Amino acid sequence: MSETKTSPTYAITNPATGEVEKTFDPATDEQVEAALAGAHAAYTSWKDVPIEERAKVVHRIAELFVERKDELGAIATREMGKPLSEAVGEAEFCGEIFDYFANEGPTLAADQPIKTFSGGKAMVQKLPIGALLGIMPWNYPFYQIARFAAPNLMLGNTIVLKHAESVPGSALAVEQIMKDAGVPEGAYVNVFATHDQIETIIADPRIAGVSLTGSERAGAVVAALAGKNLKKCVLELGGSDPYVILDTDDAKAAADTAWETRISNTGQACNSNKRMIVMDDVFDDFVARLVEQAKDLRPGDPAAEEEGTFAPLSSRKAAETLAEQVKDAVDKGATLHAGGVLGDGPAAYYSPAVLTGITKEMRAYREELFGPVAVVYKVTNDDEALELANDTQYGLGGAVFSTDTERATKIAQRLEVGMSNVNTPAGEGAEVPFGGVKRSGFGRELGPLGMDEFVNKRMFYVAD
């Protein structure tokens, strides 16, 4: 998946220390072939297991995520620096996702009768299509797998999972859950694949589709490979979501909610509120409160989560990239109100920041800032807010806030995004579809639409 075709290094590197704690050998070509053969063989039998029986296995997966939440949380914190309580909560949410699809799957996958005008009976059947490749990111090492794997295991598809190179421990922990839950051998298999092997897997006729969550660049490469090989693909890529404050009765509370949203997962969420667009009469108080939240924070152990501390980013490279983007903005006239300090290496600390005065000449205007930087824009009317909200190559999510719900709804209805919210940072839950438009990708995960992607929507007609 890179022009240089370099092989990735699968390693646990603790971002709080920069120490490489364990490395893993990449898969051999023989192991990749075994994974493909196993996934295809498992599909031929798993697809014929009644969906109610598949649901029992998926329920057990849900139970194991909850039973092992503390163990899983510790793994994620060690590998990518996620605050421990958030990592444990992520594992719990995975349980909810698997339970949702186990409970709702039989209904969501049921035959759908079609009204016909020529006699006979017609219906749309939702059938599995085969083995799928999942290419998953590091920022939510369990949740990203869950929202891909849960609906597809329910449908009867099988999965070859290629996780991010920086979270091999999370990848292996999930694979163990699948085995312990009774997923048939081969129906879910983890591979530490190289870039060349990923290309080989996508091209293999035994793979029916590919889902990727990651960068735009990776998405473009995978989409091209999928298209070349006539494979269905789903892409969830970057985001620079607008977060519009039209008015508020309490600027402090509004800022607190915005700040809590922005620093969740240390700012490393695709649908985080990366562009706060605030009306001029609220702007000063809103920014002042953000600065209060950001100042005097110190680096801390993400496993301890002591008050007044912040967690590291996922890697030193991620922290350095964010620092470069913020420096570019400041050098071109933006105001850094608080934070924005890159800690000493090899650890990956970057202090949460508040940034205003962003203009179109700055990288921060167009690029996604994947870390704890609150970027705030001042606007003077609703039309200006909407124009700025939509002036982005991304289209993942967005939120609009107002004491007048009708006013907020009017703007939210016009956001060019896949997920639009009124008076909440995000509508979330296993039942709520997730996905975007524009350069944020295409396809949906979670909710009813999550079982509507890698499926043969077969028309079945019986004449009178």
Q: Catalytic site residues? A: 236, 270
Distance CA 177, CA 182 (A): 9
Distance CA 191, CA 386 (A): 44
Distance CA 198, CA 147 (A): 21
Using DSSP, state whether 357 is helix, strand or coil: coil
* Pairing mode, strands 242-245 and 397-401: parallel
CA distances from 369 to 29, 324, 365 (A): 37, 10, 9
Output the 3-class SS for 209-230: EEEEECCHHHHHHHHHHHHHCC
- Are 353 and 338 in contact, with CB atoms under 8 Å apart? yes
Instruction: Judge residue 303's burial from the number of C-beta atoms within 10 Å of its C-beta, 0-12 exposed, 13-18 middle, 19 or more buried.
Output: middle
User: In 216-236, which positions are buried (b, 16+ CB within 10 angstroms) versus exposed (e)?
Assistant: bebbebbbebbeeeebbbbbb
Largest CA distance in the chain: 76
Give the containing element (helix H, strand E) for 123: strand 121-127
**Beta-carbon neighbour count of residue 111 at 10 Å?**
11
